[in-house]
Amino acid sequence: MFEAKFIPQTSTDGRTQSCIGAHWIMPSDNSVIKVQNLQKIFPGDVRAVDSVTFDVREGEVFGFLGPNGAGKTTTISILNTLMLPTGGRAEVLGSDVVTQASKVRKGIGLVPQDLTSDEELTGRENIELQSQLYHIPYAEASKRADELLGLVGLTDSQDRIVKTYSGGMKKRLEFATGLVHKPKILFLDEPTLGLDIQTRTSIWEHIRKLRSESNMTIFLTTHYLEEADGLCDRIAIIDHGKIVALDTSDGLKKAVGGDVIEVEVAECNMDVLEMLKSIKGVTLLEGKCSGNKARIKVPESNVALPLILEGFWNRKVAVLNVAVKKPSLDQAFMEYTGRELRDEDKGNGGKPGVPAAKKGRFGRRR
């Protein structure tokens, strides 16, 4: 078991601890993934995973966000025993990913970033083949295939070869294949990348269903921030191989700043501005009273807004319009990573990047 290392500062959800520029998780008894100082340095000093520490709790949907080349797939590959770390350690379901790899594999399922289904086989055959790899008896495998094909809406096309599937159908098949052996932890590496909104929404539904019906732990990487926002209990942001934040979605949003309140009044003058500045909690007054509109940044709008409205009321200033803007996960992501998208080749200090290796679910480790 790993030792807990804490930096005693503020806590947003009672479990996370923050330090300057990063949030660290307090390991809890029900952790199913424990990662400590994990490292993967590729030849040429490409620090894909650079001393990463975090825990994932049983039954949670854990989001792993980061720009291209941040180290998400590499981390997943190590946790799935597909790749050996160059430093640190990781335990999955109580087993070490290096020394107890086969034990780890029994309890996990992976939907990899790259498609791995056999295109010459039918959808059903792919699922049954995966069942054989897990030594599931035929009768049970057949029943399971029926269930999974139904779950991902491929029952009608189960006997078509995968080559004839659309991209969304292939991705849904990958999802089903990863679930064949009822894993305790399901790793989803970009499960919805490139899919249309209908298919994405249906995959989100599957994830919610799995979570509510089976208490499965889900480790999810995604580029869609609204996906992470809507699905994940907690989110880690990784950049240049380092975890730069780990918290709930609300915690991450709060950490980058408060709510912005825009007020339009009949008359705005210095007295009004002074009143706004004097209200407890107003941390920033953006802009001037131009066009009789003021923009105010506050830690929590539900606390500040009544005081602001009371201030206008006391000065007999009519309020024409009020808008409250909550910080978004996009803002938090930008704050922590400094950009929305990144050219992978420019990551790691401009070192030439190498695309993540194409791998089977549990292929040879490197």
Ligand X SMILES: Nc1ncnc2c1ncn2[C@@H]1O[C@H](COP(=O)(O)OP(=O)(O)OP(=O)(O)O)[C@@H](O)[C@H]1O
Q: Which is nearer to ligand X, 47 or 295 (CB)?
A: 47
DSSP 149-208: HHHTT-STTTTSBGGGS-HHHHHHHHHHHTTTT--SEEEEESTTTT--HHHHHHHHHHHH
Alpha-carbon distance of 301 to 307, in angstroms, equals: 10
Please count the residues of this chain forming the interface with ligand X, following the rule CB under 6 A.
19
Alpha-carbon distance of 60 to 168, in angstroms, equals: 25
Tokens of 23: 């949030």
Sign of the Cα pseudo-torsion (149, 63, 69, 192, in order): positive
Binder of residue 31, out of ligand X, Mg ion, none (CB less than 5 to 8 A by kind): none
Alpha-carbon distance of 40 to 186, in angstroms, equals: 22
Selected range binding ligand X among 243-251, 268-276, 300-308, 340-348, rule: CB under 6 A: 340-348
Nearest to 52, CA basis, from 80, 32, 25, 31: 25
Regarding 354 and contact with ligand X (CB under 6 A), the answer is yes
Look up residue 65 and give its amino acid: L
Report how far apart, in Å, the C-alpha atoms of 240 and of each of 19, 155, 182, 343 are: 18, 41, 33, 12
Regarding 73 and contact with Mg ion (CB under 5 A), the answer is yes
Q: Contact, 344 vs 355, CB < 8 A? A: yes
Selected range binding ligand X among 16-24, 134-142, 268-276, 351-359, rule: CB under 6 A: 351-359
Regarding 158 and contact with Mg ion (CB under 5 A), the answer is no
Regarding 18 and contact with ligand X (CB under 6 A), the answer is no
Binder of residue 69, out of ligand X, Mg ion, none (CB less than 5 to 8 A by kind): ligand X
3-state SS assignment for residue 93: coil
Question: Which stretch of DSSP H or E encloses residue 126?
Answer: helix 123-133
Regarding 22 and contact with ligand X (CB under 6 A), the answer is no
Tokens of 259: 């709510």
Regarding 82 and contact with ligand X (CB under 6 A), the answer is no
Question: Which stretch of DSSP H or E encloses residue 253?
Answer: helix 249-255
Encoded one letter per residue, x for contact with Mg ion by CB under 5 A and - for no contact, window 326-365 reads ----------------------------------------
Binder of residue 297, out of Mg ion, ligand X, none (CB less than 5 to 8 A by kind): none
How far does Cα 242 stand from its chain's mean position? 15
Regarding 31 and contact with Mg ion (CB under 5 A), the answer is no
Regarding 75 and contact with Mg ion (CB under 5 A), the answer is no
Interacting positions 33-62 with ligand X (CB under 6 A): 42, 46, 48
Please identify which residue in 63, 71, 112, 123 interacts with ligand X, judged by CB under 6 A: 71
Q: Which residue is nearest to Mg ion (CB)?
A: 73
Regarding 69 and contact with ligand X (CB under 6 A), the answer is yes
Q: Which is nearer to Mg ion, 110 or 149 (CB)?
A: 110
How far does Cα 271 stand from its chain's mean position? 45
Regarding 70 and contact with ligand X (CB under 6 A), the answer is yes
Q: Which is nearer to ligand X, 233 or 344 (CB)?
A: 344
Sign of the Cα pseudo-torsion (310, 311, 316, 317, in order): negative
Binder of residue 70, out of Mg ion, ligand X, none (CB less than 5 to 8 A by kind): ligand X
Q: Which is nearer to ligand X, 139 or 341 (CB)?
A: 341
Please identify which residue in 123, 168, 258, 353 interacts with ligand X, judged by CB under 6 A: 353
Regarding 112 and contact with ligand X (CB under 6 A), the answer is no
Alpha-carbon distance of 293 to 95, in angstroms, equals: 59
> Which residues have C-beta within 8 Å of that of residue 29, sequence separation ≥ 6?
none
Nearest to 317, CA basis, from 362, 358, 268, 279: 268
CB of 328 vs ligand X, minimal distance in Å: 20
Q: Which is nearer to ligand X, 68 or 331 (CB)?
A: 68
Q: Which is nearer to Mg ion, 72 or 172 (CB)?
A: 72
CB of 259 vs ligand X, minimal distance in Å: 30
Q: How many other C-beta atoms are found inside a 10 Å radius of the C-beta of residue 269? A: 13
Q: What is the contact surface with ligand X in residues (CB under 6 A)?
A: 42, 46, 48, 66, 68-74, 113, 344, 347-348, 353-354, 356-357
User: Which residues of this chain interact with Mg ion, rule CB under 5 A?
Assistant: 72-73, 113
